[in-house]
A and B are shown apart, each in its own frame.
Chain A
Amino acid sequence: MNMRVSIIRRVVSRIMIPFMQLFGLYVIMHGDSGPGGGFQGGVILGASIILYALSYGLDSARQRIAEKTSDILSSTGVFIYAAVGLVCMLIGGKYLQYNVLPIGEPHFASHIGILIIEIGVGITVAAVMITIFFETARKDERVEK
């Protein structure tokens, strides 16, 4: 696969990927004030890695994000989400009742809590998208060699 990848695709994706990732992070962080959120931002982040894999080959992409890293990340996101809920309970609120979090006034605490779980959603979605693509596309690469 590596031999067949054209230089145009490599150069274009090299220019595009940083902007895609920046936009993905922007969408995750601005889900509270505009369209988007953890899910959409995570998909965009995952897509940027998939674009890298499509233009530079799976092996090269796996060097950037190891199998182990994406596995750990995909469970980390869910853990962050569930842990925020547990922390709320430990402080004395209900599960996922963000406004009891000890970060300033309830209004602000709720905002921050939502931001944290959006980040968790984004991490899991991005990692799972990468995993599904890599596991599905891998066989071809081996056959072609």
Chain B
Amino acid sequence: MTEQWQPAASIGNLKRRAQLINNIRSFFAERGVMEVETPSISRYPTLDLHLESFGVNIDSDLPPRYLITSPEYHMKRLIAAGSGSIYQICKSFRCDEVGAHHNPEFTILEWYRVGWNHLQLMEEIEGLMMQIMGTGKATRTSYREIFRSLLQLDPLEFEHKEFKTLCQKLGAKPPQDLLSESASKDECLNYLMGSYIEPQLGRDNPVFVCDFPASQASLSRIHKTDPRLSTRFEVYYKGIELGNGFYELTDAGVQEKRFRETNTLREQMGKARLHPDRSFLAALEQGMPDCAGVAMGLDRMLMLAMGQDKIERVMSFTWNGS
């Protein structure tokens, strides 16, 4: 058998990719956002319920190191040190994520706007997508609104039996664990989002889904006026999630508490507890200015900009051919 050596993407697509990335750099240069580089290998793993960092073993006598799942912790340390608004285009790594729109090693476009909130940042994301991908005007909706309008379910107030009834109505076959009374409500919502909402979002133009439930706040701050909601948002285009952003949480105490809660949930799922990133927490402790940030899947953006349906069409080599 001959060894497969050819790239996954055509050379033409790679040329287009290079050109679009240049355009992105110009976009930020014109706006005075500084490009930065931060480590790919970190002393701490990402502490998230559903993200797994690759471990890197340098020497069995030394503590393990981890490939980043996003440059977030390091970039926030730069902001705490006074960098001002920054952006980065870098590789990120996530275990077990392989599919038409996933590759365990992928490229993130991540940026932070110091002194801005998430609403201002969404305007800029919309502008970037229009300029780089040629999209039209985006629409904005809320997490609650989209569930109510598309599935007639109130994500902030529902009983597990309503989820089961909805699944029956949809003819849905959710994973077994979600059928149990004790299933996590957030996972029920995640399942519905991934299966029945996301594919319908942004058919013509990008859609921002704002105000995710507080229980899914991740690293965003909670709404001042409604503690059931967070300032987390996601942006979708052509049925695909392209980015996730926050009006960033700056409170070290709250961040540490969220890490602890995540570890408790990880343990309940039979997953290993993880070390919180002490350097990141120390930076928040010292004080990080108010800012909004977003991470976008660059390969997916380029895939859609080039009218492709698999990210491998815009990546030189993929997981299975690396």
Asked if chains A and B come from one complex, the reply is no
